[in-house]
């Protein structure tokens, strides 16, 4: 180990982490954007092997220092140590997801493209059948996913943690049990209005709620009736004008590259790839039509603008690591513009908004309930050493709280490392509180106020030096409070 003092250790790790983060993010971008068939992480891990050795992880777990970088770099190194153990399986899973296909209508559809076709299929029988075929392929991949979690759990115990829950909660300071309590109360309080809205929306696409499946909700949220209000050719111009009102000139921002090209093997999930912060940021979307394209674009633009505005002199520990609830919260700040009545009227000329706002509030409540259910599921599963026994539990919890049938085959495919579901929930809460502060200061049209834009850019410049709770305290909010978020989805009538 080339470092002796805590400062030297953190300096070395910060430098290595920046190089490693850039290389892996570029690799993920190329693969998930459909530009590269394989996910070649092994050479990158080999080049930076010392960064993720057991000795490095142990040293960081024992290090005591007031250096603020420790928290973020410790979580990064331990996470990298775990991923290194499962690296080959991660690559094999990505290779399968890229290469696998589903037989449909005399054609082979790339596995990653199936969800878009399901979303756009108006016939309930056809979209359910196509989704079942996707599930068959997912089930065939699951042995690899199971083996991967076996590796992760073993390494977690070897590091001295009782469970994966304990590891993530300790290193990420997520307060998982407190969040669980908060979300259980939210599920209880929103049960009746959610069920009423769910039945209304399902019947609106001629689906019997008692027979509804996950694929039907995809169709509900596709909402083709609003397509004329969200023309694809206006997506980028509307984003530009919205950012310009906040003092951001996208046309003179070469660091942010938008990738909206259609490729067969491109992931259906929009994402942002900060390859070199703040100088090379990719905003990747896979357009399939309608307001969902706008929502995905604005969400990922929130990430992109956050990363592009991080101060260059910040250490990588604060640029690329830390509490991802923060960057997800900033992504939700821009996404929420599509829920704003004044913004819709100004930028899209939408005067008759009631039907659309009712749908998108329901959409948001669906996401909150879905991720709350995922949190409950993950807390149970990650306390165990045997993921295989949780197939049915996944389907039961999601079906119960979302209200349509979920299938057990997705029990590991619908799962991100590091309790990212918890980070999303914290981000939604953080964004709603942040927005409530902005509304108090600058009114409902805060997004047209240059002072609001200046404040937002200042918050962006910190990167993830501060956690979501620490940023809220700087704005006068003592803790995470779900009340502003609950108010967002209270009116579903």
Distance from C-alpha of 486 to C-alpha of 472, rounded to nearest angstrom? 18
Q: Is the pLDDT of residue 2 over 60?
A: no
pLDDT at residue 289, rounded to an integer: 61
List Cα–Cα distances, 172 to 54, 125, 141, 467, 477, in angstroms: 19, 43, 29, 10, 21
Distance from C-alpha of 429 to C-alpha of 468, rounded to nearest angstrom? 9
Mean pLDDT value across residues 301-322: 96
pLDDT at residue 57, rounded to an integer: 94
Mean pLDDT value across residues 341-358: 93
Query: For 113-168, what is each residue's pLDDT tens digit?
Result: 899 899 889 999 999 999 999 999 999 999 999 999 999 999 999 999 999 999 99
Query: CB-based burial of residue 4 (10 Å sphere; 0-12 exposed, 13-18 middle, 19+ buried)?
Result: exposed
Distance from C-alpha of 361 to C-alpha of 347, rounded to nearest angstrom? 19
Report which secondary-structure segment, H or E, holds 92: helix 87-99
Query: For 185-217, what is each residue's pLDDT tens digit?
Result: 999 999 999 999 999 999 999 999 999 999 999
- For 176-488, which CATH class? mainly alpha
Pairing of strands 101-104, 256-259: unpaired
Token couple for 137: 């392929």
Query: For 265-305, what is each residue's pLDDT tens digit?
Result: 888 778 999 999 999 999 998 876 678 889 989 999 999 99
Other Cβ atoms closer than 10 A to 376: 20
Mean pLDDT value across residues 250-271: 87
Q: Is the pLDDT of residue 179 over 90?
A: yes
Query: For 42-66, what is each residue's pLDDT tens digit?
Result: 899 899 999 999 999 999 999 999 9
274 phi, psi to nearest 5 deg = -80, 85
Q: Is the peptide bond before 278 cis (omega within 30 degrees of 0)?
A: yes
pLDDT at residue 493, rounded to an integer: 56
Distance from C-alpha of 94 to C-alpha of 268, rounded to nearest angstrom? 14
pLDDT at residue 304, rounded to an integer: 97
DSSP track, 98-150: HH-EEEETTEEEEGGGHHHHHHH---HHHHHHHHHHHHHHHHHHHHHHHHHHH
Distance from C-alpha of 360 to C-alpha of 366, rounded to nearest angstrom? 9
Mean pLDDT value across residues 483-492: 89
Segments of 192-259 assigned E as strands: 256-259
Q: What percent of the chain has pLDDT over 90?
A: 83
Distance from C-alpha of 322 to C-alpha of 407, rounded to nearest angstrom? 33
Distance from C-alpha of 441 to C-alpha of 457, rounded to nearest angstrom? 16
Q: Is the pLDDT of residue 39 over 90?
A: no
- Which residues is 274 bridged to in the sheet? 281
Map residue 267 onto helix, strand or coil.
Answer: coil
- The residue assigned the tokens 């599963």 is 381
CATH 1.10.1370.30 domain range(s) in the chain? 176-488
Q: Is residue 286 within 8 Å of 270, Cβ to Cβ?
A: yes
pLDDT at residue 140, rounded to an integer: 97
pLDDT at residue 288, rounded to an integer: 67
Segments of 256-349 assigned E as strands: 256-259, 271-276, 280-284
- Which is it for the CA torsion 221, 227, 233, 234, positive or negative? negative
DSSP track, 7-41: HHHHHHHHHHHHHHHHHHHHHHHHHHTTS-SS---
């Amino acid at each position: 180990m080339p470092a002796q003092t805590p400062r030297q250790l953190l300096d070395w790790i910060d430098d290595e982490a920046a190089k490693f983060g850039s290389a892996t993010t570029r690799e993920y971008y190329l693969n998930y954007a459909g530009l590269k068939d394989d996910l070649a992480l092994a050479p990158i891990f080999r080049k930076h092997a010392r960064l993720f050795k057991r000795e490095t992880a142990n040293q960081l777990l024992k290090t005591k220092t007031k250096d603020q970088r420790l928290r973020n770099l410790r979580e990064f190194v331990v996470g990298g140590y775990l991923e290194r153990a499962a690296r080959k399986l991660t690559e094999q899973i990505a290779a399968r997801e890229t290469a696998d296909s589903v037989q449909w209508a005399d054609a082979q559809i790339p596995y990653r493209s199936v969800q878009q076709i399901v979303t756009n299929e108006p016939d309930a029988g056809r979209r359910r059948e196509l989704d079942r075929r996707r599930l068959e392929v997912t089930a065939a991949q699951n042995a690899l996913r199971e083996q991967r979690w076996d590796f992760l759990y073993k390494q977690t115990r070897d590091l001295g943690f009782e469970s994966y829950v304990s590891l993530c909660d300790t290193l990420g300071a997520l307060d998982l049990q407190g969040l669980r309590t908060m979300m259980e109360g939210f599920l209880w309080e929103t049960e009746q209005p959610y069920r009423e809205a769910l039945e209304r929306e399902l019947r609106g696409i001629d689906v019997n709620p008692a027979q509804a499946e996950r694929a039907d909700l995809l169709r509900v949220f596709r909402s083709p009736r609003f397509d004329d209000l969200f023309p694809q050719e206006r997506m980028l111009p509307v984003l530009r004008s919205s950012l310009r009102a906040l003092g951001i000139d996208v046309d003179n921002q070469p660091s942010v590259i938008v990738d909206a090209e259609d490729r067969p093997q491109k992931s259906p999930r929009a994402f942002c790839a900060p390859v070199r912060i703040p100088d090379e940021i990719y905003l990747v979307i896979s357009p399939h039509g309608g307001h969902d394209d706008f929502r995905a674009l604005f969400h990922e633009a929130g990430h992109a603008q956050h990363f592009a505005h991080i101060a260059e002199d910040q250490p990588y520990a604060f640029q690329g690591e830390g509490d991802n609830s923060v960057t997800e919260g900033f992504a939700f700040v821009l996404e929420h513009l599509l829920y704003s009545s004044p913004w819709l009227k100004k930028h899209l000329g939408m005067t008759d908004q009631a039907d659309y706002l009712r749908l998108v509030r329901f959409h948001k409540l669906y996401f909150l309930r879905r991720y709350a259910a995922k949190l409950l599921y993950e807390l149970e599963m990650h306390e165990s050493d045997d993921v295989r026994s949780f197939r049915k539990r996944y389907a039961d919890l999601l079906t119960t709280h979302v209200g349509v049938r979920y299938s057990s085959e997705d029990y590991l495919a619908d799962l991100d490392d590091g309790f990212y579901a918890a980070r999303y929930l914290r981000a939604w809460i953080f964004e709603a509180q942040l927005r409530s502060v902005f509304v108090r200061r600058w009114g409902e049209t805060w997004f047209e106020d240059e002072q609001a834009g200046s404040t937002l850019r200042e918050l962006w410049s910190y990167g993830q030096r501060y956690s979501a709770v620490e940023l809220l305290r700087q704005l006068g909010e003592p803790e995470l409070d779900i009340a502003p978020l609950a108010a967002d989805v209270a009116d579903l009538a």
